[in-house]
Chain A
Amino acid sequence: MTGIAVAGVVPRDVVTPRSVDELAQIVRELHDARKPFAFVGGGTHLALGNAPRALDTVIRMTALDAVVDYTPEDQTITVEAGITLAELDRVLEQHGQMLPLDVADRTRATVGGLVATNAYGRRRQRYGTAKDLIVGVGIVRPDGVRARGGGKVVKNVAGFDLPKLMVGSLGTLGAIATVTFRLYPISQATRAAALTFAHAGGAAAATRALLERQLEPESVALYNDDTLVVTVAGTRHGVDAQMTALLDGVAPACSARARELTELERESYEQRERAVRRDGAWRLRIAAPPAAGVASFGAFVEAPPVAVPVAYPLLGVALHAHADAPASNGIDGLRERVAAETRGAGSVVIAAMPDAARGTVDAWGPSPPSFALMRALKQNFDPYGLCNPGRFVGGL
């Protein structure tokens, strides 16, 4: 397979293991030869992070796509990490179940990539992220040794929490080989309403009203800083009641114009959401305490957007996509502004940037105060620095 570049770095070789044992053997051989390597799933997040310091071999995980153990009546599934989200959906749908984690491209994105990047979308509001749904993990350590953490039951505090450690570790602590998730039933009904505001600050008032009325939306997404799309899902009656409360209660309370979306319109909003996570050479994720009004941090210093910016105001996340480089000091300026307005409690992650820009700006920004612990963890897991070295926060 050609054309794979990890954050701009082209490997010498690409290998595709056919079993977890083979994966472990490949990793062990690379480790013993002290050759740096990286794991790639569907390749939907290859632009995330800084360029690896060194890269000999890319290990493609896509042939590890088996369902290891699916117990529908227990609402749990164990899969190999290379299975795509689309294939997983297909398996789960047969039993009316779902893994409610959103990625931009389900036909390409794999479970392993989802977990390694801690990707999420609008439904985080209701279901959380992979951290909340993962119950077990099988890994191949950077030295090629297989290890497990967690299990296949939904409640379990035995041993240290390796599953949580692996979520968002971006392949720097070893390969995610198998994952066990708790699942949810597919909702009986889903409806959505769009609330549009004549003045700034309307979205903040609307999210307050949602909380006041004790609604439990599946997602709350703000498009272009002026349209709040609230999706409710559940039983038919429950969804009807929440829609009524939205249109007749929440909307007047925040002086919004409100209307229910058709299924087609709903899908078109979701496409815009996927676009902001997929398109544009420059993509940003801004996180801040929800009350800081993260949506308004968006102006990406003088660069025209390629997709409508999307924010999740109840979560405190905003997503931006642009074609052009920011004006000089753009990212640094934005980081300073976010830090100032959140008293240091925010972050700006560059989810994608053009290869030409790598090295001029850090994808992650300032390292957290606990960085020494992270370095110690990395050192313990990967003392030779072979596993995706340098791509993650602070050069981990």
Chain B
Amino acid sequence: MTTVAGSPVPAATGDALHRRFAAIVGAKNAFVAPVELRTYECDGLLGYRVRPEIVVLPGSTAEVSACVKLARELGMPVVPRGAGTGLSGGALPSAGCIVIGLSRMKQILEVDLPNRVARVQPGVINLDITRALAADGYFYAPDPSSQSVCTIGGNVAENSGGAHCLKYGFTVNHVLGLTIVLPDGEVVQLGSNAGEPDALGYDLVGVVVGSEGMTGIITEALVRVLRTAQRTQTLFATFPSTDEAGDAVSRVIASGIVPAAIEMCDKLAIEAIVAATGVDWPLDVGALLLMDVDGVDAEVEDTAARAREHLTAAGAILVRAPKDEAERLLAWKGRKAAFAAMGRISPNYHVQDGVIPRKEIAKVLREISALAAKEGLRVANVFHAGDGNLHPLVLYDARIDGQERKAEQVAGEILRICLRYGGSVTGEHGVGFDKLCYLGEQFSADDLATMQSVRTAFDPDQRFNPDKVFPTPRLCGDKPGAYVAHVTETTGEAGRG
């Protein structure tokens, strides 16, 4: 087994490389000029930049396959890329790599309502599936906050979640079949062809979803579409602090209610969201919860009433329903714009993503806030409380010497807190490049070796998205978790920030 990343010497560079790939995708869909490559040097994880050798935007499965075969011939690592909204550096280029962007493959190929499936290309924007189905009363359930810009290919690679996966499940629960291009360039169909259940053999769809671009490039997905619920009841509740709000979430979950979503915002997050979006949320509260209960009309009524009782019993200041659909949508818009809103209250922020058991929310939030205070930093919290998926936003000012480093340390310590409570270092953003060293704290060497044996069944040479997910001594030092400069930083290929 060889790892090509780290010491790749492409057989061709610059114009010569461009000519080879332009013959497949067309000259205007292959880029080698530094100014054109700039966009592709990072994804939503802004701290790292690596310039790829070339970026190609193929227009079909056949073109993706031909590009992969040529990259293999040239000995180049391959990094797939969707909309580049990922927050863990999953689409961060590797030195000497080709980035294969799927943004041109954006057709909804087929909507088959009798079988309740849609066949889509990877560059289709998540929300566009629901838009295409809404008139018929159907929707696509996974709803990451970036759903108006992120694409299905990236969602599949990262197993994206979102607010409503509490009831509806994650991307993996909604992908029935895939067409992927393997690292040797072969095209293979996995799972269901047309909505039939029980594809024979191992659940390769289940393995590829969430494999972060390391098993294959998704060029087509067959996704499940659902009938919209009879009714959605949103509840909006405010609390003196995250203690009561966290307790309220724990009570609702423990009572057996399965809301479609329960989202929490703490005081800082509320401030930022109000400033950025103009929602009329009260500023004099410590936390708020936004909850959706959906389903059959009468069922929703009962369940919402029970949920109200739990919220009140936990010490809510106020519990109310939006007065109309417009107000309901505005509240959700506010929630989904939360990360972007942080700019209103801090020059810089580090988004974290960790998971804890749901009975521990209040306790863990207190620990996080104490940890940040000790370092002189603020943490805003806006997250999927119903499934214990925290998103602490560590606020800092990069102009102040050492603050960025401190923020990173705090963000890392937060993951260790999650692990201490029996949780996970990522609930939906993926491990990517950002967290690979922490994966070694969550899993044993044997666990990781077993996962590697899954990976190498698809990619024996480890050329697809190398340097992601799996901790290595080169990237993490001998002890997992400790920060060491990325190899590309020390060689001057990449910078931070």
Contacts and interface: CB of A to CB of B under 8 A. Distances in A.
Interface stretch (B157-165, B272-280, B484-492): B157-165
Contacts of B466: none
Given A147-B450, A164-B207, A240-B298, A235 B303 contact: yes
Interface stretch (B119-127, B226-234, B319-327): B226-234
Nearest to A96: B256
A216 B258 CA distance: 14
B351 interface: no
A347 B450 contact: no
Contacts of B195: 289-291, 316, 345
Given A185-B256, A216-B295, A369-B188, A342 B457 contact: no
Given A148-B447, A159-B443, A241 B204 contact: no
Contact of A285 (B198, B209, B430, B457): B198
A70 to B, nearest CB: 12
Nearest to B301: A237
Given A147-B444, A155-B387, A160 B455 contact: yes
A149 B430 contact: no
B299 A234 contact: yes
Contacts, number: 272
Given A74-B253, A76-B357, A392-B201, A161 B188 contact: no
A165 B454 contact: yes
Contacts of B425: 158
A393 B388 contact: no
Contacts of B169: 128, 132
A370 B190 contact: yes
Interface residues of B, number: 92
A287 B161 CA distance: 28
Contacts of A371: 201
Contacts of A128: 169, 173
Contact of B296 (A154, A184, A185, A241): A241
A157 B448 CA distance: 14
B453 A380 contact: yes
B476 to A, nearest CB: 15
A216 B296 contact: yes
B299 A377 contact: no
Interface residues of A, number: 88
B469 A367 contact: no
Interface in B111-131: 112, 114-116
B356 to A, nearest CB: 7
A155 B204 contact: no
Interface in B130-181: 137, 158-159, 161, 165, 169-170, 172-173
B427 A167 contact: no
Contact of B447 (A71, A153, A159): A159
B69 interface: no
26 contacts: A97-B256, A128-B173, A131-B206, A148-B447, A151-B424, A153-B357, A154-B358, A156-B355, A157-B210, A158-B426, A159-B451, A160-B207, A161-B211, A169-B202, A169-B203, A184-B256, A184-B258, A216-B295, A234-B295, A235-B298, A238-B300, A242-B296, A289-B115, A345-B194, A370-B188, A374-B204
Interface of A: 71-76, 96-97, 118, 128, 131-132, 139, 141, 145-149, 151-162, 164-165, 167-169, 173, 184-185, 211, 214-216, 234-242, 285, 287-292, 315-317, 342-347, 349, 364-365, 367-374, 376-377, 379-381, 392-394, 396
Given A155-B428, A287-B198, 6 more contacts: A148-B447, A149-B447, A151-B423, A157-B170, A158-B425, A370-B204
